[in-house]
Amino acid sequence: MTSRAGGHAWVFGDDINTDLLAPGLYFKAPLEELSRHCLEAVNPGFAGSVQPGDVIVAGRNFGMGSAREQAAQVLVQLGVGAVLARSFGRIFYRNAINFGLPVLLFPQAGEIIPGQRLEVDARRGTVRDLAMGQSFTVPPLPEHLLGMLEAGGLMPWLHRRLAARREAAQDV
């Protein structure tokens, strides 16, 4: 993943919980199977139609509920480019970053119409609605979190840091 995304907007309301993202009925299935059921209770066509780079726009408490990592993993598996929401469940927010999925607070979520093309830049803190020619400013992600996104998530970021430290130790 990167700190930039662009695609069509998928608009959802408030309180999209982790069970809607990663339904418990399919929880023990492989990630590919679990992803096919992402958000099916609120939009049955989502998992089969979402395209790489598309952006989820939601209301309050996106990702609330249990601490299941799979809620963020299925969105990455489906190619979602970013999630913009008025607020996030705390654990989902961190899991999303850990798996390389940009998540930004977006108070203007109610102004986006489903299907509109959006460009998101988490580094600059901008969201552009290409259809309406509108730009929104949002709080950008901190530099250390952007580094994790650019690396593809927490584990790849840690591996890079560890490798860099090993190299530095060998140079001494």
Domain locations along the chain? 4-171
Q: What distance in Å separates the CA atoms of residue 86 and residue 32, rounded to the nearest whole number?
A: 28
Q: Is the pLDDT of residue 168 over 90?
A: no
Mean pLDDT of 58-79: 96
DSSP reduced 3-state for 8: strand
Confidence category of residue 1, pLDDT binned at 50, 70, 90: low
CA distance 59 to 44: 19
Provide the pLDDT for residue 55. Answer: 98
In CATH terms, is domain 4-171 a member of 3.90.1570.10? no
Would the pLDDT of 124 be above 80?
A: yes
pLDDT of 59 > 90? The answer is: yes
From 4, 85, 8, 78, select the one nearest 38 (Cα to Cα): 78
Q: Which of 114, 126, 139 is nearest to 55 (CA)?
A: 114
